[in-house]
């Protein structure tokens, strides 16, 4: 019937077309049919603009642009999905480094560094005359030896390193959620509209730039920690000092001021254990806090710390000895070497354990209104600031021997127990969680018991100390997967095989448990040797033992022949040291005989060697040097950067901001040792001079060189 209804008007229209005025009807019919055809084609076919867009998008997906601006090849059109826990990850462009960590897209293509930025004015000037520094023959000999061994240890030149870095980055999987696929496609299409970014082949720093510095103007003033401090005017400032990492859009290009009451050279170690200059850590809330404590006393210009005094009644010595008596397998400084102390209440815990050769890293939390982590650093004890909420801590999985939480006020059972699941991730198999508190409710005890049972932890002790009246609970993580199979309720569930347990940079905490390694070639199947034998013992899962041995001997020679004697550094004033690009921790190992501690930083964009560093009984952290580090200003006495800058080309928007960050975290009078390409060192020397740093030594041999500088107390 439908065909007949359609056919009748057409037949009638044809008969009328045979009449005299049929020509016009024929012309109109052809026009109408043509318009109908165009309409149908428009409704059911993609437009020309969409075709163009699709072609551009597909081409971009075949060869997407990496963060450094070079073309990525042999990548699938949709990145494999690894993590399903945070739907917000797809809102920004991210990448996965070799260590499995996520990094925010740090570069938008080559930028013009000549425009004025937040407190710095860059002006083109003519090239200055080169100043020659006296060269020492011994240093040249050491540098030549190092250059040879550097290639031997790394197995590549610096150009090779950059190529490997690019290859590793390009082959890394993106971690996101299922909903991120569309967002990944959108970001690729956005890049297609902007045009492909070209790799910047010019110098890392502008050789003709001159810098004019200004002081930062922030709420935190002389204690400013970019990316972490809450700077906005809000009621939350009354409750929290920090928030989870969220960096400002524009890189920091201003200098953090000194304390308004002045700054004095820190008290040297080991005297700093007992006293520090009050003005160096002055803070309004700290003044109020000191009046209520017995472990810290204001004494004239100093803050003093009475021996064996802590917030614990009976002293810290009694507290730690009672733990060893309760669990005899815990031997501080022997089988227990790497410890994470969550929530910096006082430094007595780490101070006492340092005498037993145990390395305790203190984690300052977002409610550290008094800046007690800064007090710990001023005393010479390891500490970082990394708010603990929804994201993983910047450590690999299965690395800490023990985690301690003394009155840290963390609600472990909230939010499905995610924070305890994160402790389960960073603890090594059979590792310990020690918790102590003065007032625990019955409801909290029951909730904690259910939560620890759900993750398979064994309760080794749950008692109240007679002397201190402190409730102590000691848990142990399983050492095998058998306990997981015995759970009645599989909550939390086991993580999928493709979820990377070591991913820790801007990665949300997953509500799942990772399988415990079981094969002998996997890391974590055996407890490390006792300290100090642990430092030189390389387990079977390390497939590069020869490189480890060679790297250890290499840095031992460099430190002994050059750093300790050839640079004019007074090592009696050095306590807090940072290796800004650690590989195997060999630089830190070479300094063990010195009275220092070393923070080993493994950048997220290089091969992940941080598990090896922890396995050796040393401590480190993941970080992206395109962003500020999580510590207070004036935290370190010495910074060491081995080929750090040469790996940052085409990555950071403004590499000079790394020098600004070095100025922030280094104390006045502190030192920096930089080994890199000669062209980079020449530019760095000019930048340091603009900051009024003293150039203590510059030596270049071939394409490689070394620069030793000392920060002054100058502020603009």
Strand 597-603 and strand 620-623: pairing? parallel
Q: Which residues contact 213 (CB under 8 A, 6 or more apart)?
A: 119, 120, 254, 255, 690, 691, 716
Does the bond joining 270 to the residue before it have cis omega, within 30 degrees of 0? yes
Lowest mean pLDDT among 246-250, 355-359, 637-641: 246-250
Residue 494 is given by DSSP the state B
Higher pLDDT, 4 or 362: 362
Residue 363: its H or E element: strand 359-364
Higher pLDDT, 550 or 37: 550
Give residue-wise pLDDT tens across range 375-405: 999 999 999 998 888 999 999 999 999 999 9
Nearest to 642 by CA among 684, 583, 590, 689: 583
Q: At what angle do helices 48-62 and 180-194 cross, to 10 degrees?
A: 100
Give residue-wise pLDDT tens across range 77-131: 333 333 433 333 333 333 445 454 443 333 333 344 343 344 554 444 444 434 4
Strand 636-642 and strand 620-623: pairing? unpaired
| Maximum Cα–Cα distance across the chain | 119
**Contact between 373 and 362 (Cβ < 8 Å):** yes
**Contact between 618 and 588 (Cβ < 8 Å):** yes
Report DSSP letters for 232-262, one per residue: S--GGGGT-SB-S----SSPP-SBPPPPTT-
Nearest to 171 by CA among 66, 276, 265, 83: 66
The residues spanned by each domain of the chain are 271-385+398-485
Q: How far apart are CA 576 and CA 381, in angstroms?
A: 8
Lowest mean pLDDT among 237-241, 479-483, 598-602: 237-241
Q: How far apart are CA 516 and CA 495, in angstroms?
A: 11
Given a cut of 50, whether residue 468 has pLDDT beyond it is yes
Instruction: Write phi, then psi, for 58 (nearest 5 degrees).
Output: -65, -40
User: How much is the pTM?
Assistant: 0.76
Give residue-wise pLDDT tens across range 656-708: 999 999 999 999 999 999 999 999 999 999 999 999 999 999 999 999 999 99
Does the bond joining 492 to the residue before it have cis omega, within 30 degrees of 0? yes
Sheet containing 427-437, strands listed edge to edge, beginning at the edge strand earlier in sequence: 383-385, 359-364, 338-342, 400-406, 427-437, 471-476, 458-464
State the pLDDT at residue 41: 65
Three-state secondary-structure class, residue 669: strand
Tokens 């091969």: give the residue. 607
State the pLDDT at residue 206: 78
Please classify residue 554 by burial: count the beta carbons closer than 10 Å to its beta carbon, then call 0-12 exposed, 13-18 middle and 19+ buried.
Answer: buried
CB atoms within 10 A of CB 532: 16
Nearest to 645 by CA among 599, 693, 685: 685
What is the percentage of the chain residues whose pLDDT exceeds 90?
49
State the pLDDT at residue 192: 37
Q: How far apart are CA 158 and CA 154, in angstroms?
A: 9
Q: How far apart are CA 122 and CA 95, in angstroms?
A: 31
Beta bridge partners of 303: 276, 298
The residue length of the chain stands at: 716
Average pLDDT, the chain: 78
Q: How far is CA 26 from CA 18, 33, 346, 559, in A?
A: 9, 11, 96, 96
Give exposure, 558-589, as e/b (b: 16+ Cβ within 10 Å): bbebbbeebbebebebbbbbbbbbbbbbbbbb
Strand 102-104 and strand 94-96: pairing? antiparallel
Q: Which residues contact 236 (CB under 8 A, 6 or more apart)?
A: 230, 243
Q: At what angle do helices 2-17 and 22-44 cross, to 10 degrees?
A: 140
Nearest to 633 by CA among 303, 369, 341, 385: 385
Q: Which residues contact 673 (CB under 8 A, 6 or more apart)?
A: 563, 567, 638, 639, 640, 641, 706, 707, 708
What is the percentage of the chain residues whose pLDDT exceeds 70?
71
**Contact between 37 and 31 (Cβ < 8 Å):** no
Lowest mean pLDDT among 69-73, 197-201, 668-672: 69-73
User: Which CATH homologous superfamily contains domain 271-385+398-485?
Assistant: Vaccinia Virus protein VP39 (3.40.50.150)
State the pLDDT at residue 278: 95
- CA angle 459-463-465, nearest 5°? 145
């Amino acid at each position: 019937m439908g065909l007949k209804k359609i056919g009748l008007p057409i037949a009638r229209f044809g008969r009328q077309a045979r009449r005299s005025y049929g020509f016009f009807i024929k012309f109109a019919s052809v026009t109408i049919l043509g318009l109908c055809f165009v309409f149908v084609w428009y409704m059911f076919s993609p437009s020309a603009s969409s075709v163009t867009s699709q072609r551009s998008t597909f081409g971009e997906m075949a060869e997407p642009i990496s963060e450094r601006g070079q073309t990525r090849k042999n990548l699938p059109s949709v990145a494999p999905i690894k993590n399903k826990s945070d739907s917000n990850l797809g809102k920004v462009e991210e990448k996965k480094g070799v260590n499995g960590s996520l990094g925010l897209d740090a570069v938008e293509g080559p930028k013009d560094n000549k425009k004025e930025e937040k407190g710095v004015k860059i002006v083109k000037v003519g090239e200055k005359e080169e100043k020659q520094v006296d060269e020492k023959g011994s240093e040249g000999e050491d540098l030549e030896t190092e250059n040879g061994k550097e290639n031997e240890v790394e197995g590549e030149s610096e150009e090779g390193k950059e190529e490997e870095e690019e290859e590793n980055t390009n082959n890394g999987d993106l971690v996101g959620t299922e909903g991120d696929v569309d967002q990944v496609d959108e970001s690729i299409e956005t890049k297609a509209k902007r045009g492909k970014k070209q790799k910047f082949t010019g110098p890392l720093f502008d050789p003709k730039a001159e810098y004019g510095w200004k002081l930062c103007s922030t709420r935190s003033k002389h204690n400013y920690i970019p990316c972490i401090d809450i700077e906005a005017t809000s009621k939350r400032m009354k409750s929290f000092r920090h928030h989870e990492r969220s960096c400002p859009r524009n890189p920091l290009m201003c200098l953090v001021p000194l304390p308004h009451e002045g700054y004095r050279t820190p008290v040297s170690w080991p005297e700093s254990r007992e006293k520090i200059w009050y003005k160096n850590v002055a803070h309004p809330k700290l003044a109020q806090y000191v009046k209520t404590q017995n472990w810290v006393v204001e004494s004239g210009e100093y803050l003093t710390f009475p021996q064996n005094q802590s917030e614990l009644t009976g002293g810290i010595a009694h507290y730690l000895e009672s733990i060893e008596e309760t669990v005899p397998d815990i031997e501080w400084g022997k089988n227990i070497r790497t410890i994470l102390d969550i929530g910096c209440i006082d430094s007595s815990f780490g101070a006492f354990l340092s005498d037993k050769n145990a390395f305790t890293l203190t984690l300052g939390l977002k409610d550290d209104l008094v800046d007690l982590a800064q007090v710990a650093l001023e005393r010479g004890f390891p500490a970082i600031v990394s708010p603990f909420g929804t994201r993983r801590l910047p450590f690999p999985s299965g690395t800490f021997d023990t985690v301690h939480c003394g009155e840290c006020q963390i609600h472990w059972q909230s939010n499905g127990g995610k924070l305890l699941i994160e402790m389960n991730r960073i603890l090594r198999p059979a590792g310990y969680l020690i918790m102590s508190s003065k007032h625990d409710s019955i409801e909290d005890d029951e909730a904690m018991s259910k939560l620890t049972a759900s993750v398979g932890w064994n309760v080794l002790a749950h008692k109240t100390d007679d002397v201190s009246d402190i409730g102590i609970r000691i848990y142990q993580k399983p050492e095998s997967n058998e306990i997981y199979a015995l759970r009645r309720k599989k909550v939390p569930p086991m993580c999928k095989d493709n979820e990377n347990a070591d991913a820790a940079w801007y990665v949300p905490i997953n509500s799942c448990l990772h399988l415990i390694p079981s094969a002998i070639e996997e890391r974590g199947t055996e407890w490390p040797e006792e300290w100090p034998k642990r430092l030189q013992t390389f387990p079977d899962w390390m497939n590069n033992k020869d490189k480890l041995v060679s790297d250890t001997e290499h840095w031992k020679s460099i430190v002994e022949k050059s750093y300790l004697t050839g640079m004019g550094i007074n090592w009696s004033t050095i306590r807090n040291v940072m290796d800004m690009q650690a590989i195997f921790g060999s630089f830190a190992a070479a300094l063990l005989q010195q009275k220092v501690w070393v923070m080993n930083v493994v950048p997220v964009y290089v091969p992940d060697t941080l598990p090896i560093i922890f396995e050796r009984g040393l401590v480190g952290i993941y970080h992206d040097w395109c962003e500020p580090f999580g510590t207070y200003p004036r935290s370190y006495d010495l910074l060491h950067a081995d080929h750090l800058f040469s790996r940052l080309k085409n990555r950071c928007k403004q590499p000079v901001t790394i020098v600004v960050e070095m100025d922030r975290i280094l104390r006045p009078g502190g030192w920096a040792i930089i080994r890199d390409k000669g062209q980079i060192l020449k530019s760095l020397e000019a930048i340091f001079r603009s900051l009024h740093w003293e150039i203590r030594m510059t030596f270049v041999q071939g394409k490689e060189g070394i620069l030793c500088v000392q920060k002054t107390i100058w502020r603009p």
